[in-house]
């Protein structure tokens, strides 16, 4: 699927930025391909650290705790049940369906990769 706009930003410095971007893009594209989603999509991904994901968690969910991933969907959809008609979800200005935002703690991802 080539019509996915994946916006990745980094709050952390890392020498592996290009590798991380490649892995995130590959995972997102594979997920939508596996789910059979063919609508043009946009998703925002923030790569951060434990301290900042804890702050995001505290301010958005009132949970003052580190976590691995936070997601902030744009729409209240049911997992595994994509809409039959995506037209009401498409942004008329971009022609894309803005799915929402994700924050990933690179520290937690590294720890989990070691398991």
On whether the CB atoms of residues 78 and 41 are closer than 8 A, the answer is no
Give the whole-number percent of the chain exceeding pLDDT 90: 75
Q: Mean pLDDT over residues 71-82, rounded?
A: 90
What are the beta bridge partners of residue 61? none
Instruction: Find the mean pLDDT for residues 27-55.
Output: 94
Closest Cα to residue 37, out of 86, 100, 71? 86
pTM equals 0.90
pLDDT level of residue 53 (50, 70, 90 thresholds) = very high
List, for residues 3-13, the tens digit of each pLDDT value. 899 999 999 99
Position 115 scores a pLDDT of 67
**pLDDT at residue number 92:** 95
Token pair recorded at residue 99: 């799915």
Q: How far apart are CA 30 and CA 15, in angstroms?
A: 25
Q: Let me know the angle formed at the C-alpha of 86 by 56 and 91, rounded to the nearest 5 degrees.
A: 60
Three-state DSSP state, 14:
coil
Provide the pLDDT for residue 81: 86
């Amino acid at each position: 699927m080539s019509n996915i706009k994946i916006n990745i930003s980094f709050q952390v410095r890392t020498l592996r930025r290009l590798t991380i971007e490649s892995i995130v893009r590959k995972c997102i594209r594979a997920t939508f391909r596996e789910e059979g989603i063919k609508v043009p999509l946009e998703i925002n991904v923030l790569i951060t650290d434990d301290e900042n994901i804890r702050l995001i968690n505290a301010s958005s969910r009132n949970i003052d705790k580190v976590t691995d991933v936070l997601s902030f969907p744009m729409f209240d959809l049911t997992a595994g049940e994509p809409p039959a008609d995506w037209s009401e979800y498409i942004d008329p200005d971009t022609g894309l369906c803005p799915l929402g935002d994700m924050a990933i703690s690179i520290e937690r991802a590294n720890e989990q990769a070691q398991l």
